[in-house]
Amino acid sequence: MAPRSRRRRHKKSPSSVAPVVETPPTVVAPVPLNLAKPGPSIDTLGFFCLENNVPGLSQLILQKLNMKSYEEYKLVLDGGTPVSGFGYRCLEEMFQKMEDTFQFCAYCKALPSGLSDSKVLRHCKRCRNVYYCDPECQRSDWPTHRKVCQELRLVAVDRRVMVLETLMLFKKKKKGTEWDRGITSYSFFPAGDFVLPSGPWSWLTEVVQGWDTWFSMRRLQLDDTLDAVLESQAMTTLWASVRRPRPDPDVLKGSLKRLLTDVLSRPLTLGFGLRALGINVGKVGGSTVHVVGASHAETFLTRPGDYDELGYMFPGHLGFHIIMVGVDVAAGFSQSTSASLLEPGTVQISGHRGLYHDFWEEQIETGQIAHPDLVVAFHPGFHASPDLMEAWLPTLLLLRDYEIPTMITVYSHQELAASLQILVDLDTHITAYGANPFASLKPEQVYSNPNKQPVYCSAYYIMFLGSSCQLDKRQLEEKVNGRV
């Protein structure tokens, strides 16, 4: 860990940070900082935060999954065997129970169990995504809901199509486990229907500046992939199982493209960071990227080829080793963190379950693993909770004091403002921030607050390198020595 003597705080106005976005965000008050105890799992915190807006929602979700506790839920996600009767007899039952977890009144927050016999929850006919217990609640909520209704219609389609992709991945990853036994209709989902476009880029890296140019470059391959999915038996079975009208082909293609960007956003965002920070990917022995605070979702369904697009982004690279570190890293995810040289042109993925500053002391300071060339945190969330800030503070100070090139992504402009304020308070030297050209295009709905404006994964980024105070000191030394 970084020497304690280097951990200092100097207040600075956010205006001292050179902005990259056109309109600097409004800065909000920072979260109080202290080192009392490590924070909670962000996945656990997110699950129980559902209660803040809809009391009883977390228990409803567990009930529909036939589970008794959150611990059992996590056990199943990690591939363990539940003690209760988890599983579904058919896809129709699975889809219905999944949809049941979204059924609460968007206006008064009433759950089905809290309704009188004369009331029943009905969805909005436009978006088919939010529910109301009676026409009065729907009319009262319309001024708010109308602002997001069209976008939530996309969310509803994506949610169902995403189940198709997820089941395919589960079949590949969890064959023979409780997940496989729990859903008896897996045979309807043949592996390989949804294959990501891949292969060397036909355009120069500098030309591919965002999704528009990426889609143009991959157009022929992408069209073939999307047509194959639309014509597959899996897609037919999907819409028969959800008992909803099948959307038009253009709507489904749009959904598949959004889900595709959601999968590829992380590797391409890593590439964007490497390019923007000037990291040398031609280094002998390969380049190392640490993904800090890696969540369960980032690791559980990750397959070896998911980050190949990063390699195609840099033709001639000498290897990438991506190490995902976090307390929520899925059990069973590759724990190999060997320091052996990488094969040129390969992308290796591994994981480590634990806190990053502990990982640094145990693996990096002992020389078992090389220092990272880049550290990335996807949606760290340290702005949202004092407990999470406590957990993240040692890592942020470490990255600052060891001058590790670092990139953070956030969901929204509000999160960007709050995170910038915290990093400025910590004296980090922020080199750039702004809209991420490879942000996911899939709208993310706040589960328990459906009428909140949807956000997009990795919508904005922040890059920092070292301390602003270290930079000032270096500039002063250069002036004294006559180098400026």
Residues 285 and 375 grouped into a single domain: yes
Q: Is residue 211 one of the residues assigned to a domain?
A: no
Q: Is residue 4 one of the residues assigned to a domain?
A: no
Q: How many domains does the chain have?
A: 2
Residues 355 and 433 grouped into a single domain: yes
Q: How many CB atoms lie within 10 A of CB 437?
A: 17
Beta bridge mates, 432: 463
Each residue's pLDDT expressed in tens, for the chain with a length of 484 residues: 444 434 444 344 333 333 343 333 333 333 333 333 334 566 666 666 777 778 888 888 787 777 777 777 777 666 666 665 666 666 677 777 777 888 899 999 999 888 887 788 999 999 988 999 999 999 999 999 999 999 999 998 998 887 766 555 444 444 433 333 333 333 333 334 456 778 999 999 999 999 999 999 999 889 988 898 888 888 888 888 777 788 999 999 999 999 999 989 999 999 999 999 999 999 888 999 999 999 877 787 777 788 999 999 999 999 999 999 998 888 777 655 555 678 899 999 999 988 999 999 999 999 888 899 999 999 999 998 888 899 899 999 999 999 999 999 999 999 999 999 999 999 999 999 999 999 999 999 887 888 999 999 999 999 999 998 765 555 545 544 554 4
319, 345 Cβ separation under 8 angstroms = yes
Phi, then psi, of 332 in degrees rounded to 5: 90, -15
In the block, tokens 């052996």 appear at 340
Q: Is residue 33 one of the residues assigned to a domain?
A: no
CA distance 458 to 436: 7
190, 87 Cβ separation under 8 angstroms = no
Domain range enclosing 56: 42-183
Query: Which residue blocks in 243-366 are alpha helix, DSSP H?
Result: 249-276, 296-300, 308-313, 356-359
Residues 132 and 270 grouped into a single domain: no
CA distance 89 to 419: 45
Q: Is residue 121 one of the residues assigned to a domain?
A: yes
- Domain edge (last residue) among 183, 210, 228: 183
CA dihedral 98, 77, 170, 232 (to 10 degrees): 20
Contacts of 388 (CB under 8 A, 6+ apart): 39, 40, 42, 45, 380, 381, 382
Q: Is residue 8 one of the residues assigned to a domain?
A: no
Nearest to 376 by CA among 415, 347, 410, 406: 406
CA distance 68 to 94: 18
Residues 262 and 179 grouped into a single domain: no
Q: Is residue 218 one of the residues assigned to a domain?
A: no
Residues 256 and 352 grouped into a single domain: yes
- Domain edge (last residue) among 136, 159, 183: 183
Q: Is residue 236 one of the residues assigned to a domain?
A: no
- Domain edge (last residue) among 150, 183, 216: 183
Residues 53 and 130 grouped into a single domain: yes
Q: Is residue 193 one of the residues assigned to a domain?
A: no
Residues 131 and 259 grouped into a single domain: no
Contacts of 96 (CB under 8 A, 6+ apart): none
